[in-house]
Structures are given as structure tokens and as C-alpha cells.
């Protein structure tokens, strides 16, 4: 059997939404984008949402609109996708990396305070794999030191922390609608905030700093506008938003499928307890199940993590690694003082992480096959 790491199947309804957008006579940012913003606000309970061209763009704009600039420091995690760090670098600020909690793989709030300096202006927390960070502690630190708190929620649309939806837990929350994410527009993203002025600033920055959009001008508004900031071209098109609207309709159902598959993995791999660590989500939080990351216990296996991935792939099981620690990349080593970093937990956990296939189109039969292969490999390679 072949189980790809990811497979996207769009419904007839989703394709129809895109076809309708194409036929509507207006294909860039317009009514579909506004409808998607409203839809994500309704889903999360957030007050304001601004659609953007990617999660990376959303992080950049959130940081800039919150005043992060050259000479500032922003605390974040090394266990993330490079986009988190690139967005901080775009503002001219320095990312300061803080080690993670081994159970959740999220930034460890207990290690943050010792890294705060007079230059620290913000924390960017990442909900790895869809498990919400410890927002109660992060918010307390942010309040105490007057820092902005930004949630990189690229993985966690649909998750909640102690009953409160991701999207409402930080000064700004950024979702990614990249092709593999829990809700996709192909490429795209969204910034959510409870603060209208922040949302207005982000909207302005996302479209050249112009006071009026093309849709407003051509749909009966005045041709006049001003440019009041150095902005960017980070808007989302209506064609992309149409796909997002279609995806939004099926969101709860797809999330239930992801949770059901994660449960299946949990049950079928439970007996490998002392050989593998399975994903962990703290009591009271709901995981979005974007990724299912297992961590073999290296001392128990006669082969390395990398070889284990090859063995899985040889048996038709596609795998991913989330993530390669960002301070090990060539470019990051050139520009950040990585020699001074002490990030042993990130290095240990990233070195044993394997992401298994997890997506709504995955069948229970396929998930069971993945578990059978892991059992077979455990029999063969565990000493
Ligand atoms: C943790 C994290 N942050 C940010 C991003 C960037 O999102 P995008 O690809 O939409 O720019 C990603 C994308 O995979 C991600 O995994």
C-alpha cells in the first residue's frame, strides 16, 4: 500500500465556489475576501480579520503594525518553520530564540523571562502541530514586561485553549492557508485581532498603504485615494478566498476527521509506549491536529530517526519532519549569534521527530497500515 504524506481532495462545492468567483467579473480582493474574513471571525469569535497573501505576510504585517522595528528584539522558538523568523527579520528586529517544552514542542514560558532585555518588544509563540501554547503564562509575561504577543497559528485554526478559540488569545493571531493547512486557499493567510486600529493598520499595510482598495473604487466609490504609509502587496485574491469559503463550509467535518485519525493513531500506537512518544495536548486544550508527530526514543531503536524514515518510505509510508531547528540553517548561522544559543531540548526533540500522514482524505485503513508498518519496524529494529 502507498500512503502519501499529504493528499488534497477538493469537493465539488469547493470547485464550484472557485468557478463562481472566476465568472463573477471580479477576481482580485473584493466581496469574497470580505466574506472569508467574516467567516473566520464567526468561526473563532475574533472581532477583526484581515486576509493576506500568506501566513508569512501576515506575521510580517502584524509585527510591523505592532511597532516592531530595527534594533528591537523579538522572543520566539527555534522549533518552527523558517517563516516565523524571516517575518521578524523583515522588520529589522532580532529574533531571540528560547528553548521549548519537551511535551508540547511549544516555546517554554518558564525560559522566557531570563531572555528579556530593554530591547525586547514582542513574543511570537507558535502552536506547533496544532497544539495551543500556554497562553495564560505567555499573556502574564507579555503584560508584566509590556510586550506584544503574536500567535503564529499557522497550524492551529480550530484549536482552543481552556475553552477559548485560537484567534482570540493574543494581540494578533496569524493563520496560514497554505495548501497543506487545515483550511486552504492555495496560498493565503489571515491576521486576527480584537483591536480595530491594529486591524485597520494591517489592512493599510497589506495594500500599498493606500486609503482605498480597487474594489471600493471600481464598485461605485470615488477614484480618489491617498498613500499614507510605505505598504506592501500582500492582499488575497477573490479566487483564493472563494476556495477558502468552500473550505470553511466543510471545516468542522474535516476537523472531526483529523481528530478521529489522530485518535486512531493514539490507540493503535499506544502499546509502543516505551519506544515512541506520541503527541501530547495539555488538559483543557483542544488540538487542531494539523500534524501528528511521533518521537521514537533513540536509545531503544537500533537505527537512527533518518533511517527509520527511509524504512517507512520503503514500505510506502510518506513522512515529514517538523521541524529542522532554525538555528541549524546556513543562512541563520550567518546572521544570528547561534554559537551563543543553548537549545538542547529543541535539538533533541527535533532530532527524533517524524510526522505521519494526517489529512481529511486519509482513510482509517491507510492509518491502520501506517501503524502496522511501525509495529513491524519496532519488532525488527528495537533492541
Ligand atoms: C509555523 C509556521 N509559521 C508560518 C508559516 C508560513 O505560512 P505561509 O506558508 O502561509 O506563509 C508556516 C507555513 O508552513 C508554518 O508552518
| pLDDT score at 214 | 81
Q: Which fold, 252-381? A: 3.90.1150
Among the listed residues 11, 8, 25, the one whose alpha carbon sits nearest the alpha carbon of residue 239: 25
Query: Cell numbers of 215, please?
Result: 474594489
| pLDDT score at 221 | 83
Looking at the CA of residue 58, tell me the nearest atom of ligand 1.
Answer: 11
Ligand 1 geometric centre to CA of 290 (Å):
12
Contacts for 303 with CB less than 8 Å, ≥ 6 apart: 311, 381
CA quadruple 289, 291, 294, 295: dihedral positive or negative?
Answer: negative
Looking at the CA of residue 87, tell me the nearest atom of ligand 1.
Answer: 4
| pLDDT score at 298 | 95
Ligand 1 geometric centre to CA of 176 (Å):
6
172 beta partners:
150
Q: Measure CA 47 to chain center.
A: 20
Nearest-angstrom CA–CA distance, 233 and 146:
30
Please choose from 52, 53, 58, 81 the residue to mutate so as to test ligand 1's pocket, defined by most ligand atoms within 8 A of CB. 81
Q: How large is the C-alpha radius of gyration of the chain? A: 21
Please choose from 60, 83, 174 the residue to mutate so as to test ligand 1's pocket, defined by most ligand atoms within 8 A of CB. 83
Pocket of ligand 1 (CB under 6 A): 54-56, 80-81, 83-84, 126, 152, 154-155, 176, 178, 189
Ligand 1 geometric centre to CA of 53 (Å):
12
Q: Please determine whether the domains at 12-250 and 252-381 fall in the same fold group of CATH.
A: no
| pLDDT score at 222 | 86
Nearest-angstrom CA–CA distance, 340 and 327:
11
Ranges in the chain, pLDDT < 70: none
Task: Kindly state the DSSP code that residue 284 receives in the 8-state scheme.
Answer: T
pTM: 0.98
Nearest-angstrom CA–CA distance, 62 and 138:
17
| pLDDT score at 220 | 78
| pLDDT score at 213 | 86
CATH 3.40.640.10 fits 12-250, yes or no: yes
Query: Cell numbers of 229, please?
Result: 504609509
- Catalytic annotation present for 181: yes
Ligand 1 geometric centre to CA of 324 (Å):
14
CB 180, CB 236: distance < 8 Å? no
Burial environment of residue 27 by CB neighbours within 10 A (0 to 12, 13 to 18, 19 or more): middle
Boundaries of every domain in the chain: 12-250, 252-381
| pLDDT score at 218 | 79
SS3 293: strand
CB 321, CB 353: distance < 8 Å? yes
β pairing state of 160-161 and 285-286: antiparallel
Looking at the CA of residue 56, tell me the nearest atom of ligand 1.
Answer: 11
Nearest-angstrom CA–CA distance, 170 and 139:
7
Ligand 1 geometric centre to CA of 56 (Å):
6
| pLDDT score at 216 | 82
Please choose from 53, 56, 174 the residue to mutate so as to test ligand 1's pocket, defined by most ligand atoms within 8 A of CB. 56
Report phi then psi at 371, rounded to 5.
-70, -40
Q: Which residue in 2, 32, 38, 181 is the catalytic one?
A: 181
Looking at the CA of residue 178, tell me the nearest atom of ligand 1.
Answer: 10
Amino acid at each position: 500500500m502507498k500512503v502519501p504524506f499529504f493528499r488534497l481532495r477538493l469537493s465539488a462545492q469547493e470547485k464550484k465556489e472557485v468557478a463562481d468567483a472566476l465568472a463573477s467579473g471580479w477576481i482580485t480582493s473584493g466581496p469574497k475576501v470580505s466574506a472569508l474574513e467574516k467567516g473566520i471571525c464567526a468561526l473563532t469569535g475574533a472581532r477583526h480579520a484581515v486576509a493576506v497573501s500568506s501566513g508569512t505576510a501576515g506575521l510580517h504585517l502584524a509585527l510591523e503594525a505592532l511597532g516592531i522595528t530595527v534594533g528591537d528584539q523579538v522572543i520566539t522558538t527555534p522549533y518552527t518553520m523558517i517563516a516565523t523568523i524571516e517575518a521578524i527579520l523583515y522588520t529589522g528586529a532580532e529574533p531571540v530564540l528560547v528553548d521549548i517544552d519537551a511535551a508540547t514542542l511549544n516555546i517554554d514560558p518558564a525560559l522566557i523571562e531570563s531572555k528579556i532585555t530593554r530591547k525586547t518588544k514582542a513574543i511570537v509563540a507558535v502552536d506547533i502541530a496544532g497544539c495551543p501554547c500556554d497562553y495564560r503564562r505567555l499573556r502574564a509575561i507579555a503584560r508584566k514586561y509590556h510586550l506584544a504577543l503574536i500567535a503564529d497559528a499557522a497550524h492551529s485554526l480550530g484549536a482552543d485553549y481552556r475553552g477559548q478559540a485560537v484567534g482570540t488569545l493574543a494581540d494578533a493571531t496569524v493563520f496560514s492557508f497554505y495548501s497543506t493547512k487545515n483550511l486552504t486557499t492555495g496560498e493565503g493567510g489571515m491576521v486576527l485581532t480584537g483591536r480595530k486600529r491594529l486591524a485597520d493598520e494591517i489592512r493599510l499595510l497589506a495594500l500599498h498603504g493606500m486609503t482605498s482598495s480597487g474594489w471600493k473604487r471600481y464598485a461605485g466609490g470615488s477614484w480618489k485615494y491617498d498613500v499614507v504609509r510605505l505598504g506592501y502587496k500582500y492582499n488575497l485574491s477573490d479566487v483564493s478566498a472563494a476556495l477558502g469559503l468552500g473550505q470553511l463550509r466543510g471545516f468542522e467535518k474535516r476537523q472531526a476527521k483529523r481528530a478521529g485519525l489522530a485518535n486512531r493513531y493514539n490507540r493503535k500506537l499506544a502499546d509502543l509506549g516505551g519506544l515512541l512518544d506520541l503527541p501530547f495536548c495539555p488538559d483543557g486544550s483542544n488540538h487542531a491536529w494539523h500534524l501528528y508527530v511521533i518521537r521514537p526514543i533513540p536509545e531503544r531503536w537500533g537505527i537512527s530517526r533518518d533511517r527509520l524514515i527511509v524504512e517507512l518510505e520503503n514500505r510506502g509510508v510518506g513522512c515529514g519532519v517538523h521541524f529542522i531547528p532554525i538555528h541549524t540553517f546556513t543562512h541563520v548561522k550567518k546572521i544570528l549569534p547561534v554559537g551563543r544559543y543553548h537549545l538542547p531540548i529543541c535539538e533533541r526533540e527535533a532530532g527524533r521527530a517524524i510526522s505521519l500522514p494526517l489529512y481529511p482524505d486519509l482513510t482509517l485503513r491507510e492509518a491502520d497500515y501506517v501503524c502496522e508498518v511501525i509495529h513491524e519496524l519496532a519488532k525488527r529494529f528495537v533492541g
